[in-house]
A and B are shown apart, each in its own frame.
Chain A
C-alpha cells in the first residue's frame, strides 16, 4: 500500500468517527466532510489570539532601549532640497539623531524583485532631489515617540521648487512611453472594427487608489554586530531580507525578518521601502533598536497605491452581438524615476472570443511616488474597461447583458491559443443568475423602481491568472505526537495558518488542533512572495510533500524498528488516523504516535518538503525565494490557467440626489478546489467589498497646485464602512484543477474584486440610463 492509500484509509476512518470535529460539509466539489481535513470549514486557528489581543504584530515587540523615529516629508512635488535646518530639532528634548541626506550611512542599491542586477550607485532613502510631494527628506530619532513627533515638526527644509507634472490630466504629461511588452495583436483589429456593423467605443478611467490596510506600515530595526533583525509586516520575508542585506552590504543570512501577523497588505507589504532603510540606518548609527511607525497620512506617499489609469475600448460586432474586433489602448501613470506598469489589457485579451484584437499601452511619468500593487493589479482596471464596454455593446445590439457574454464565450484562451485548465465561468453565470433572479430583470434602463429609488441590475465577469511558484516547508512529528509546520510564508488574513494545519493534519493523520503552524520568521523554511494569490497553492503543495515524507518515515520506523510494537507484525504498511497507528487489517496493536516514538527512542521526525526541480542549486533556490524570476507562467505547457467569477449586483439610486447604494450582491466564483471554504468565502466577500468601495467611494484627490494628495487620511479617502455593505451571497462553482496546483486549487484573494466595479457601473446604467465611465461613481456624475 502506498502512502496515498494510507491517507485514503485514514479519511475513511474519519468519516465513521462522529466525535471528530464539525460535520458541516465543505465545498461540494471537493468531497471533504470534516472541518479539519483539507476542504473543511475549520475556523481560523490563529483566531483565538486575534480576538483576545494576544496576537503580537510586528511593531508591537517590546525591546529594551527602543528609540522612536519620525519621518519628515517633502512639501513640494518637484525640485531640490536647498538646505535643512536641524538646529531646533537637535536641541529638542530627548532627540538622539536627526538624519538628513547629508549625514547618513552610504547604502548600496539593491536588486529589484525581478532579480535585475542593481547599478553600482548609492541608495539614498532621504532625497536631495524631490520628485513627489511626501517624499522622505529627513528623520528624527528620539527617546520617546512624543519627543520625536515634536522635534520632527521643528526641522526646517528649504527648497528650490520646479514645475511638477501633477497627474495624467496635466497638460505637460504628454502621451508617455510605449511599453512594447504589453502589445498584443492578432488579425487586423482596426480594419475589422471599421467594417463591423455594430460599434461601440468609449474611454474608461480609474483614479489613484490606495491599499489602506488597517495596520499602517512600519518596523523595528535592531542590529547586533553585523546581524540585523527587522520586525516588519511583510508579504515577502525573504525578498525583503535580501533588500536589507544588499542595502547594508551584509550577507543575506545576517538579516532576520519577523512578521508573525500582518494587519492587511493588499499588495502593499511585499517590499522593503525607504523608511525601512532609514530606520535600519538609524539603528546602526545609534547602536540601539529603532521603531519607525509610518503615520496614516504618510502611508499615502511612503509607497505607491494603484496607478491612475485611462483606457479606450472599441468593440466591433455583428448584428447579433458577436464580437469581430477589440481595439484597446491603455495608459497608466508612473513616477519620474521608477517604472510601474499596470497591465490594462490582461482581461481584455482573454475574456471573450474575437478573431481580431489589438491592445497597446503607454506609461506616463508624473510627480508621484512610484505606484504599486493593489489587489488584482492589471486585471482590476482592465475588467472595468472590457466589462463596461461589452455592457454598452449589449444595449447597442439590444440583447441581454448576460446573453451577450455567453454569445461571446471564449472556449479556449484566445491569446495563448490553449485550452483552459478549467473555466467554470458558464457555470458561474448560470448559478449567479439563478440565485439573483436575473430572469426577472426588465431590460430597459429606468424601468425598475421603488418609490423615488431607481433600481438597477448589473452583471460583470472577472478573472485572475493562476500564478505558480516553487515552495518549501518543514514538517516535524514531535515526541508528544503533535505536528509542527514551519515556513517563512505569512498569514495576513487569508488563512495560511489554518489551511496548512489542515493539510498537515490530513496527511499525517492527526487532529488539526495537534498541529502547530509557525510562520512569519525568515529563519524558517524559505518562501517566495505572498501575492498574486499564489501562496495557498504553493504552500499546501509544499506542506503536503513534507508531511507525506514525515509520515513515510513514521510508518517506516513503526514497521522496521526492532523496538516497535509493530515489528513482529511484518506489515507492508500501517495506517495513521486521529494520532494513532494501526494495521490496516485491524490485527496487531494500536498505539499513539507518541507511544511509538517513545518505544523506538526518537525525539522527533523531521522532513523538508521542496517542490523545486531536483537538480536545483543553492543559487537557484536563493533566486527562487528572493525574486520572482523563477515564477511559472500561467500559460506554460498545455493549458491556460485562471480563476473566474461572475458578479450580479443590484443598486438603488436616489432619483433626486443621485446617491447610489449597493443593495444586493450575488457572486459565483471558480477558484478551483477550496482548501477551506469558510475562509475562502471571507476573502471573496472582502474582495467584493473592496470593489464596492472602488466603484462608489475611493479616489486619491490631487491638489493641482502642489501635486499633493489632499485626502491622505481615512476620513477623507473613503473606504466602505459597515453601513455601506449589504448581505453578500457567494457561490463556489469551482472544480479541482490538477494543472493549477498540487491539491487542485486556483487563486482566491485577488479574484473577488475583479469585475465588481463594472457590475456596479452597469447596474447604475440600468437604473438611471447614465453611463459612468469614470470611477468612482459619485452623485455629481448622475445629476
Chain B
C-alpha cells in the first residue's frame, strides 16, 4: 500500500501527544488498540451497540468505534489508561468498582468506568434509577449491573464530598 492512502494525525491522549500515520478510515478505537498499543479500550461490537469502547473526548463520553481517529485530532482524549493519577492513585470510580466487585470478566469494565465518570460529572447519579438509566448504554454480559450501580453511587458520594472539602 502506498503512503498516499495514509494521513498524518496527532492525537492527544491522556495528556500525551501521539503522532501517527493512518488510513483516513481508521477508527479511533483501532488507532488506540492496534496503532498505539492502548488496548484498555475494548472492542465489543465495532458498531456502536455495546459501549465497551467508551472514551472521553473533551470530557464527553464517546464511542471510539463510531469515531474516526482523524475526527479526534486536536481534542483531548481520555482512555482508561489515563484515568488514575500519575502516581497510580486510582480514580474514585475505579476504586469503587474494585470494592463493589462491579465486574467479572473485565471486558466491558473500562467502558463502564469511563461512562460512570461522565455519568457522575453530568449530574446523572442522583438516584439508583437514574444511574441505571444513564449507564444503560454499557452492556455487561456477566451481569454486574447491581454492583455497577453500587459503585457509581459510592463514587458519586465520594466525589461530591471531596469537592465540598476542596471548596
Contacts and interface: CB of A to CB of B under 8 A. Distances in A.
B81 interface: yes
- How would you classify the secondary structure of chain B's contact residues: helix, strand, loop or mixed? loop
Contacts of A48: 90, 98
Interface string B1-44: 11001000000000000000001011000100110011111111
Contacts of A49: 106
A214 B52 contact: yes
Interface in A49-86: 49-57, 60, 62
Interface in A200-221: 211-216
B63 interface: no
Contact of A212 (B5, B47, B136, B141): B141
Contact of A214 (B5, B137, B139): B139
B80 A52 contact: yes
A586 to B, nearest CB: 37
Contacts of B113: 51
B147 interface: yes
Nearest to A491: B105
Contact of B145 (A494, A687, A720): A720
A51 B90 contact: yes
Interface string A77-107: 0000000000000000110000000000000
B104 A686 contact: yes
Interface stretch (A144-152, A181-189, A390-398, A612-620): A144-152
Interface in A647-690: 678-679, 681-683, 685-690
Interface string A615-640: 00000000000000000000000000
Nearest to B149: A722
Contact of A295 (B2, B46, B101, B144): B46
Contacts of B84: 52
Given A51-B94, A51-B113, A493 B139 contact: no
A46 B106 contact: yes
B34 A53 contact: no
A690 B94 contact: no
B79 to A, nearest CB: 7
A492 B106 CA distance: 8
A214 B44 contact: yes
Contacts of B37: 62
A146 B23 contact: yes
A449 B81 CA distance: 49
A73 B149 CA distance: 40
B156 interface: no
B132 A713 contact: no
A682 B101 contact: yes
A682 B34 contact: no
Given A60-B33, A713-B49, A725-B146, A51 B138 contact: no
A570 interface: no
Given A43-B99, A50-B109, A53-B79, A713 B136 contact: no
Contacts of A681: 101
A262 B138 CA distance: 18
A725 B105 contact: no
Which interface class (under 10, 10 to 19, 20 to 34, 35 or more) fits A?
35 or more
B45 A296 contact: yes
A494 B40 contact: no
Nearest to A92: B1
A722 B145 contact: yes
A47 interface: yes
B133 A689 contact: no
Interface in B88-124: 90, 94, 97-99, 101, 103-110, 113
Given A53-B38, A215-B105, A494-B104, A682 B136 contact: no
B106 A261 contact: yes
Contact of A714 (B38, B45, B90): B45
B143 interface: yes
Contacts of B30: 145-146
Contacts of A215: 42, 44, 105, 107
A263 interface: yes
Nearest to A721: B136
B94 A264 contact: no
B98 A214 contact: no
Contact of A264 (B25, B33, B141): B141
Interface string A673-713: 00000110111011111100000000000000000000001
A54 B109 CA distance: 12
B39 A56 contact: yes
B140 interface: yes
B98 A296 contact: no
Contacts of A212: 141
B131 to A, nearest CB: 8
A666 to B, nearest CB: 13
A713 B49 CA distance: 8
A495 B104 CA distance: 8
Contacts of B133: 722-723
B44 to A, nearest CB: 5
A215 B149 CA distance: 22
Contact of A725 (B50, B94, B132): B132
Of A681, A683, A726, the most chain B CB neighbours within 10 A belong to A726
Contact of A50 (B79, B106, B149): B106
B135 interface: yes
A263 B107 contact: yes
B142 interface: yes
Of A143, A679, A681, A723, the most chain B CB neighbours within 10 A belong to A723
B81 A293 contact: no
A671 B144 CA distance: 19
Nearest to A690: B143
Contacts of B97: 47, 51
Contacts of B143: 685-690, 720, 725
A750 B79 CA distance: 34
Contacts of A56: 39
Contacts of B80: 51-53
Nearest to B150: A727
A275 to B, nearest CB: 16
Of B26, B128, B133, B147, the most chain A CB neighbours within 10 A belong to B147
B148 interface: yes
A571 interface: no
B18 to A, nearest CB: 15
A218 to B, nearest CB: 10
Contact of A93 (B1, B44, B140, B148): B1
Nearest to A266: B141
A47 B143 CA distance: 16
Interface of B: 1-2, 5, 23, 25-26, 30, 33-34, 37-47, 49-50, 52, 79-81, 83-84, 90, 94, 97-99, 101, 103-110, 113, 128, 131-133, 135-149
5 contacts: A53-B40, A492-B105, A682-B104, A690-B141, A714-B47
Interface of A: 43-44, 46-57, 60, 62, 93-94, 143-147, 211-216, 261-264, 266, 293, 295-296, 492-495, 678-679, 681-683, 685-690, 713-715, 719-728
Given A48-B90, A214-B141, A296-B46, 8 more contacts: A51-B98, A53-B79, A53-B81, A54-B81, A55-B106, A216-B44, A723-B135, A726-B146
